[in-house]
Structure formats: structure tokens, C-alpha cells
A and B are shown apart, each in its own frame.
Chain A
Amino acid sequence: MKRILSVLTGVFILLLISSVLFVSCEKKPKEAGPVTFALWTQESESEGGFQYIEALAESYMAAHANVTIDVLQKGTEDLREDFQTASLAGDSPELLWTVSDHAGPFTTADLILPVDDYFDMSKYVESVVANGKTWAVPITAGNHLMLLYNKDLVSKAPVTTDELIAMAKEHTSGDMYGLVYNQTEPFWLAPWLGGFGGKVFAADGVTPTLDTAAMVGTLQFLHDLKFVHKIMPNEADYGMADTLFKEGKAAFLINGDWSLTDYKGVLGDKLGITAIPKVSSTGKWSAPYTSGKYFMISNSVEGEKLDVVVDFIKFATNTENQVELVEKLVRLPGLTSVLNDPIVTGDPVFKDSGAALAKGTPMPTVLEMRANWDAMKPELIAVMSGTKTPEEAAKAMQAAAEAGIAAMK
């Protein structure tokens, strides 16, 4: 046993020495900055957003030797789920760069800070407001869907759905499709619902209104695009629609402003941008959801760290960086002064994107929207796979949304 004790003591001393070496190794970056904070974003690498944020963080760290920013990329829904879980564990990231509808669950669960006290919100475009407080700082405006087209294939943008269908039919043959978009996400259903005169909530903003004639009309229209007019692939998610359009195998694509950098890089001047057409049967413009990307601050942040986080947000949304964002990511900025700058107003891409944005409607950010999204998705897929009629799907959506809201409470 004496041998055991001496061996254990020896191991302990060895570990102590090693730990000093390791800790000194770990401390190195910390010596450069006593303030470290994590920034989670759902911007992807493929569209250049993540690289832009990393460069922004590098630039801030270069100017502030005492600050270390850990930038981490996550899928949109992963970011929401992981932020909630991390907050529950008391280890949430300090700052988020994310979409507006995350504010619903985060404010309900009391996970983020109101930002009115730290920023002059009059300098920014409309932000996420609930219970009389502002919960996010706008980085970009828009996040809206548009109709993109390949000018090599299509010379003129369609204005109505009848025109779109007619033009798309001309370009559908073999492995070539007239129209592609993400058929699996209800975010792509929302513009058409607006065109059919529908809304997902009643006037109170929290009661689902999914079993309506407008929803049935929307689902029937989408069903017919695929099964009657046969202008779309049998199955298409975001990736497939994106690939088909880039490969020149699709004349029209419905996608958001976040993707413009990528398509400009592939198609250059051949990229056409226009608003999603008017629904011919109603004469109403399709109304994509508008929001943008926002900074949200975890309410676990306080003291000196909060000062640094606020300073970083001010840095990221200053005029110089917003201009750079416009140039690099081809998105409308969150800062009003830059939004009205000739760099935006004089650019034809932004002119077209802005025109499409003008047709949009603000995306609901209440928690109940979560239940609506979850209720719409499987029913939309069921209609698009031909397993449910639009009437059945609309009815099931309503029931699921109501059950979802009840279950969340």
C-alpha cells in the first residue's frame, strides 16, 4: 500500500506540472483580452455571410486587443434550440445574429435583453417590438422572397401568375424546369397566401386562421403548379432548387435576398430580380414575409461584458460597416442613413429587391407563430406529395396550430 501511495503522489505531482503547462497554453489568448464573448449566427458560408461576420469580429478584435469574440455558425432552428438549452444550463452565448421570429420564444422565456437603453433605435429600420420594448438591433432589412430569373432563358419578368405559368411551361421539358423553389418550407407558402388575401393570424395577432378559403386557394394553386401545370420538379428542397437554378436547369427561382450574392457570382448580369407575381384570380400581389437579421443580446450579459457587446454591435452597424455589408452581401442595411444612401438607391439590384420588399408584409414574431409554422409544414408537404387535398390540409393545419399553442402553454 505504501507503494500505491507513493505512485499516486508521483502521478499527482506529474499532473500538477502538466496542468500548469496546459493552463499556460490555454491562457495565452486570454492574456490578450480579459473580455471574451460568443457570437452565434445562422448566416451560412455558402452565401458569404459567415465569412463576413468573422471578418467583422477580426476587425473589432484588432482594434480592441482585450476582446476575444468566438463566432459560431448554426442552422437557424439549431440556433434557436441550442440557445434555449444553453440558457437553461446557464451557459448561453452572449450575442446572437439571427432572424426576427426567434424573438418570440426568446422574449417569452425571458432570455434576451431589451435594447432601448443602449441604442438610438430611431437610427435603424423597424425592429422587433413587443410589450412596448425593442428586443433586437437590425443588421439587415428585408429577408424577403423574390422571383429570380435567368435572363438567358427569360427576357421579360412576369407580372401575374398566369404569365408566370405560361412562361414557365415554355421552359419545362426533360430535366429542365420552369419554376423551382423550396417546396418543403411554409416560408415559401406565405407570399402566395398573401396573394390569395389570407393571413396566418386573426386581428389579435395570436389566433391562427389557417383553415380559410385563402389557405385552400393557396394550397390548390401550389398543388396545380406541380400536378396540373407540371412546371416544377416532383420534389425540391432548398438545396435542389438552388442547384437547378445555378446549373441553368430552371428558368425561375423563388429565393430570398440573402442568396443574391451567390447568384450574382454565378449568373452576373444575367440574374433577373422581380417581385413574386400578382395572383391572377385575386389581382393581389403576393406578399412575402419581411424581417431581416438582428442582433439579440442574452440577458445573462452584464457589467463590462455588456459594454463590450453593445460597443461591438455599434461597430458592426456603423455607417462604414453597413456600407461594406451592402457591397459584400448585397442586402438592404438596417441603418436608415445607409438605406437612403445612393449606394442603395442607385443600385439596380437593390431597386428590384426594394420593389419586391415593398410588396411584403412583416413576419409575425410572436411565439404562437412557432405553432403555425409547425402546423403548416407537414400539411404543405402532404398536399405537394398528393396525399391530402387542400381542404383536408387546411383543416388539419388549423387543428394542429391550435393544439400546438395549447400544448406550449
Chain B
Amino acid sequence: MNSLTPELFRASLGQVGSTVLLIAMLAVVMEIALYLLLVRVLKHKYALPIMLLAPAAIGLMLLVVAPILYELRLAFSDMNLYRFKNPNYGIGVGLSNFARIFTEPVLKQVGFFPIFFRTMLWTGIQVVSHVTIGLFLAILLNRPMKLRGLYRTILIIPWAMPQVVAVLAWRGEFSFEYGFLNIMLKNIGLAGVAWKTHPFWNYVAMNLTNIWLGVPFMMVILLGGLQSIPSTYYEAAEIDGANWWGQFRNVTIPMIKPVMTPAIVLGVIWTFNNFNVPYFINQYELETSDILVTALFRAAFEYNRYGFAAAFAFVIFFILLLFSVWYVKVAKIDIGFGQGEQKKKKLPKIAKTAVAATEGRR
């Protein structure tokens, strides 16, 4: 392998730099054109905002909208290796692609619905674990204690690590012979577990890895939420005779709900679409460990079913779209921008007392 010589560095910089400069120059040319058109010719009221937004809007069009339109076109084609350069396009072809997703094996033997339910189970296990463990750790770290900063730093490390690096490191640890999990099991007299080849244990392995990766995010978010709850709420609850559980149920949970709800929804979307963990932990391509996005990737790039895979991608997109629409409704209720009165009505009695206490009504 070539070492990083000054020549190589210069050549790489030249390749990357010239592309970046070209984009920058095009942006400046576009801005000048917009200036002349909007300011000089049209004297438009919103000339400056349009000029500021234009580069990002065009970038998004090129990087997001154009690929989606291409994907849509592909979904209505029968492109595969046999029809790689001259695929057939048509409504009928597209409908057939969508029908095949639900009626035929998506990969080798397993159909859409088993993979979908496995994905739901995966998402459920992950989000419940992230929230439960994250909240537990956040509550622990929200108390006055020695070395709190150090504990927080250590607990955030998994989140700070690049995900692929962390997942590949975990994969190494799932080695039957040399992985630390099996070494520990063997040291306490238990048999090693076939983490990579046994369907059930491979599914457990990917869940363990993602719990380790995902808890810090939830912990940080919830810790932020906990720190924003004024201590007077707890004092008021105590005066009302609430024990620890009462305070947790009636003050902590309602007060961190506005923070927790979007974090959970984001967690659901990220986990549902998590590619790195299920793909890399499933080193031997066990169909029993595939979730929808990894199955989609394999359909496209291992089986070269490009038209089918594009249709499959839209199915996943619509599942997440439905979830997001539902989320928007839920978020409106829970976060309640501009709906303070409505929100207050929903608070339990102790929390309402606490709110009243801080507002000086008692």
C-alpha cells in the first residue's frame, strides 16, 4: 500500500479541492445571476432570502429529490442483470414488482411479513431497552455524586465512537474462540455460544450491540430533560406526601415527556432503518437476522434485482411515512406548541400542584 507521500497528498488535495472549488464557483455564479435577476431586474421583496436559500435548495434537489425520482422510475422497471442496460418500464411492471414483494420470498426463503415482524420486534426491543436503561442511568447521574463527570464521559463513549468501528469491534468479540464473551462464559464453566452462526444467538448479538450503542443517546437526552425539571416540583410533591415512586410517576415522567417523545420517535425511525448493526454483526448473511433494510440492500446488490429493490425501498419508505404522520399528531398533543392550557389539563394532580407551586399560586 502506498504511504502518504507529499505527492499523493498533493494529488488527492488537487482532486478533492478542484471539485469543491468548482461547486463553490458555480454557487457564486448562480448567486450573481440571482442578484442581477431578483435585485436589479425584478426588485423582488425577498431577494436576499431567496439568494441565501438557493444553494441549499439546489443541493437538496440534486442529492435528495433527483435520486428519489430515479428510484421511482426504477421501481417501475424490471432491471436486473439480464436486463441491465435496457430494462422494460411500465405501470404493469411496477405493479408486478410491488405485488412480488408481498407474495414471493424477498431474499432466499423468507417473505416480506416475517422480515417485517422481525424488524418490528427488533425496533421494539431496542427502543424499550434504550429508554429503560437510558432513563435509569440518567436518573443515577442526575444525583449529586462524586466523579459524576467521569461517569458521564465513560457512558457517552459508545455514542462518540464511529458506529461501524464499534460494530466491527463487537463482531470480533462475538468470535467463538477468541471473543471475550465466550472466554468469560468458559471461565465460569459454561459452554461458549455460537454468536455468529446460530440464528437465535446472532439475533441476540445484534440486539446486544445496538443496545450498547443506543443507550448513551437516550441517556444524554433524558438527562437533559431531568436537569430541566426545577427541584421545587419535587419539594411540592414531597409536601403532598408523594414517595419516590409517586414523584417519578407524577413529576418526572410527565415533565420529561416533551423531551422523551421525540427521542423515542427518532429512536424508532433510526432503529427501524439501522443498517450497520444488523448487516455487520450478521457476518454470515443469516436470513434469520435480516431486517427490512438489510434485506433491501441484499436484494439490490447481492441479487441484482434493481427494479424489485427500488419498489421494496418505497414500501419501507411508506411504512416510515405512516409512522411519521402518526408521530406528527402525537407530537402536537405531547409537545403542545401554543397549547399550554391543554397540556396543563392533561397533567396529573401532583404535577399540577407542582406547576402551581412554581407559579406562586400556593
Contact between A387 and B198, CB atoms less than 8 A apart? yes
| Contact A15-B80, Cβ < 8 Å, known A109-B85, A235-B177, A385-B198 | no
With contacts A25-B10, A84-B304, A387-B199 taken as known, whether A237 is within 8 angstroms of B108 at the C-beta atoms is no
- Distance in Å: Cβ of B213 to nearest Cβ of chain A: 23
User: For the complex, what is the distance from the CA of A108 to the CA of B79, rounded to whole Å?
Assistant: 13
Which of B1, B35, B196, B286 has a CB less than 8 Å from the CB of A5?
A: B35
In the complex, which residues of chain A have a beta carbon less than 8 angstroms from the beta carbon of B108?
Answer: 374-375, 378, 400, 403-404
Q: Which of B1-26 contact A (CB under 8 A)?
A: 1-2, 7, 10-11, 13-15, 17-18, 21-22, 24-25
Complex CA–CA separation, A89 to B125 (angstroms):
39
Report whether A26 and B301 are in contact in the complex, using a CB–CB cutoff of 8 Å: no
Q: Is B84 an interface residue (CB 8 A)?
A: yes
**Nearest Cβ on chain B to A76's Cβ, whole angstroms:** 13
Cβ-defined partner of A26 (8 Å) among B11, B39, B283:
B11
Question: Measured between alpha carbons, how far is A399 from B104 in the docked complex, in Å?
Answer: 13
A181 to B18 Cα, complex, angstroms: 48
B56 adjacent to chain A (CB < 8 Å): no
Q: Across the A-B interface, how many residue pairs have beta carbons closer than 8 Å?
A: 154
Q: Would you call B197 and A374 a contact (CB within 8 A)?
A: no
Q: Which DSSP category, helix, strand, loop or mixed, fits chain A's interface? A: helix
Option from B2, B13, B192 in Cβ contact (under 8 Å) with A22: B13
Contact: B84 with A235, CB < 8 Å? no
A28 touches B29 (CB 8 A): no
Give the distance in Å from the alpha carbon of A26 to the alpha carbon of B12 in the complex. 8
Interface pair A4/B197, CB less than 8 Å apart = no
Interface pair A384/B197, CB less than 8 Å apart: yes
**List of B residues within 8 angstroms of A403 by Cβ:** 104-105, 108-109
Closest chain A CB from B180 CB (angstroms): 15
In the complex where A233-B176, A404-B108 touch, is A29 in contact with B1 (Cβ < 8 A)?
no
When distances are taken between beta carbons in the complex, the residues of chain A under 8 Å from B99 are none
B173 contacts chain A at the CB level, 8 A cutoff: no
CB-based contact A374/B302 at 8 Å: yes
Report the interface size class on chain A.
35 or more
Q: Mark A226-255, 1 if CB is under 8 A from B, else 0.
A: 000000011111001000100000000000
B178 touches A240 (CB 8 A): yes
Q: Are B194 and A234 in contact (CB-based, < 8 A)? A: yes
**A284 beta carbon closer than 8 Å to chain B:** no
Quick check: is A16 within 8 A (CB to CB) of the other chain? yes
CA distance A407 to B108 in the complex (A): 9
**Given that A15-B24, A240-B177, A377-B285 are known contacts, is A25 also in contact with B13, CB under 8 Å in the complex?**
yes
Q: Give the residues from 293 to 346 in chain B that come closer than 8 angstroms, CB to CB, to chain A.
A: 301-305, 308
Contact status B175-A235, CB under 8 Å:
yes
CA A329 to CA B39, docked complex, whole Å: 69
Q: Which of A16-42 contact B (CB under 8 A)?
A: 16, 18-19, 22-23, 25-29
Q: How far is the CB of B302 from chain A (nearest CB, A)?
A: 7
Nearest chain A CB to B197 CB, angstrom units: 4
Question: Smallest CB–CB gap between B52 and chain A, Å?
Answer: 10
Decide: A408 and B17 in contact? CB cutoff 8 A: no
Rounded to whole Å, the gap between the CB of B187 and the closest CB of chain A is 14
- A165 on interface, CB distance cutoff 8 Å: no
**Chain B residues near A (Cβ < 8 Å):** 1-2, 7, 10-11, 13-15, 17-18, 21-22, 24-25, 28-29, 31-32, 35, 39, 47-48, 51, 80-82, 84-85, 104-105, 108-109, 175-178, 192, 194, 196-199, 283-287, 301-305, 308
Q: Can you spell out 18 A-B residue pairs with CB atoms less than 8 angstroms apart?
A: A5-B32, A12-B28, A15-B21, A19-B22, A19-B25, A23-B18, A26-B14, A26-B15, A105-B304, A108-B82, A109-B304, A244-B177, A378-B284, A378-B287, A381-B284, A382-B199, A403-B104, A408-B80
